[in-house]
Structure 1
Amino acid sequence: MQATDFYIEIKNRVKNHAATNNDFINRFSQGMISDNEFIRFSIEFYHFTREWPEILSTLLVNTQKEEDAYELTRILVSELGDDNPDHRHELLYRRYLRSIDLNPEELVRRKKLKTTEEWLNGMRRAFSSDYATALGAEFGLENMAIPMWDKLLPGLRIMKDKKYKNMDMLYFTFHREIESKHEDATQNIIGIHGRDEKDKFIEGADYILNLEEKFWLGLSDKK
């Protein structure tokens, strides 16, 4: 199998995963969630936003190939705002939280939902595991991002019109704009690995996306 065929196969697998096509995120996209669900989403997603750079650093530290490290460094630097500390993604998310009357300083100490904890710790485990499996998990996370933003953004706009008039959506719109660059970086990583690592790549992607699906469903009032 050619590397390009491998890339197309695993990308399609990620794009069609229930991590971005499940009851909660589909209802979110239509503005069909309760206010409790919306606040729960805002709080739990903040845990991901805060911890993601540290989690990604784990993968970078364990990266064996310089070519892979180059692409992962580009993603990590982007998360930290490139050369503008004011654009660090967590800071943008804090602006969002304050705009909907949530205090980020208090949320840092707030206990996570079990499904959120399992998703974040699952990333750490995946990124510390077999190298190809770890890269597959990263590929899964980066390539589910655009479908995720394309469902979150319409729902956020509905919630803003409906109740949260002062909502600052820059974190979400900014992220949507840069995600294609992150996808390109993971395509470059896939391109330098052979077909003998295909199964491990898929295993890593499936593992992390299955946990992400549970993360979304854990935000629902329907438990």
Structure 2
Amino acid sequence: MQQSDFYGEIKRVVKSHPATDNDFINRFSRGDITEEEFKRFSIEFYHFTREWPEILAKLLVSTENEDDAYELTGILVSELGSGDSGKRHELLYRRYLRSIGFKPEELVKREQLSTTKGWLDGMREYFSSDHAKALGAEFALENMAIPMWDKLLPGLKIMKERKYKDMDILYFTFHRELESTHEDAMENIIGVHSNDQKEQFISSAKGMLDLEEKFWLGLSDKK
């Protein structure tokens, strides 16, 4: 299988995975969630937003290939505001939280749901492991992002119209516009070549998405 064919096939696997096509996120996209589920989403997703740069840095420092590291650095710099600390992505999310009545500083040390912790710890484990496994996990995360935003944004707009008139959704709209560049960066990564590396890449990509699916289902009242 040619390298381009390999990445095309794994991208199709990623985009059809229930990580972005499950009961919770589908209900969210329709605005068919309870108030408690909406609040739970807002809080738990903040844990991801806060911890993601640190998790991504783990992948960067363990990346051997300089070209791969170059692309990953671009993604990390973007997360940190591309040179403008006031545009750090976590700060955009804090604006969202305040606009719906939360105090971000009170949520920083709030205990995570076990499914949230499992997802974030899983990222750290994959990103600190073998290079092919780490790249597979990152490839999965970056390529599931657009389908995820395309489910979240309609639901947020419904909630904004329904109750939260002052909701600031810039964090979400900004990321939807940005994600195509992150996907492109992953396409440029040298990545994996041997059959063994490809198997590790696929395994970790699927494993990462399995954890994300559990994250979404963990937000549901239907447990």
What number of residue pairs does the alignment pair up? Answer: 222
* Contact 1:6/1:195, CA 8 A, preserved across alignment: no
Tell whether the 8 Å contact from 2:142 to 2:183 is kept in structure 1 after alignment: yes
One-letter identity of the residue aligned with 1:110:
R
**Partners of 2:137 and 2:204 within 8 A in 1:** yes
In the superposition, the TM-score normalised over structure 1's length comes to 0.98
User: 1:155 is matched with which residue?
Assistant: 155
* Alpha-carbon contact 2:58-2:124 (below 8 Å) kept: yes
Structure 1 residues 1-223: aligned runs within 5 Å: 1-189=1-189, 191-196=190-195, 197-223=197-223
Residue 17 of structure 1 aligns with an amino acid whose one-letter code is: H
- Structure 1: runs of 5+ lacking an equivalent: none
The percent identity for this pair of structures is 70
CA distance in 2, matches of 1:131, 1:195: 12
Q: Distance in 1 between matches of 2:220 and 2:99?
A: 23
Give the 4+ runs in structure 1 shifted more than 3 A.
none
Listed one character per residue, the Cα deviations across residues 79-130 of structure 1 (whole Å, up to 9, x for unaligned) are 0010221110000000000000000000001100000000000000000111
2:132·2:191 contact (CA, 8 Å) conserved in 1? no
TM-score, normalising length: structure 2: 0.98
Q: CA deviation at 1:193?
A: 2.9
CA distance in 2, matches of 1:89, 1:207: 26
Deviates more, 1:40-49 or 1:78-87: 78-87
Letter in 2 for 1:101: G
Superposed CA offset, 1:53-80 (max 9, x none) = 0000000111111011001000000000
Q: Which runs of 5+ in 2 are unaligned?
A: none
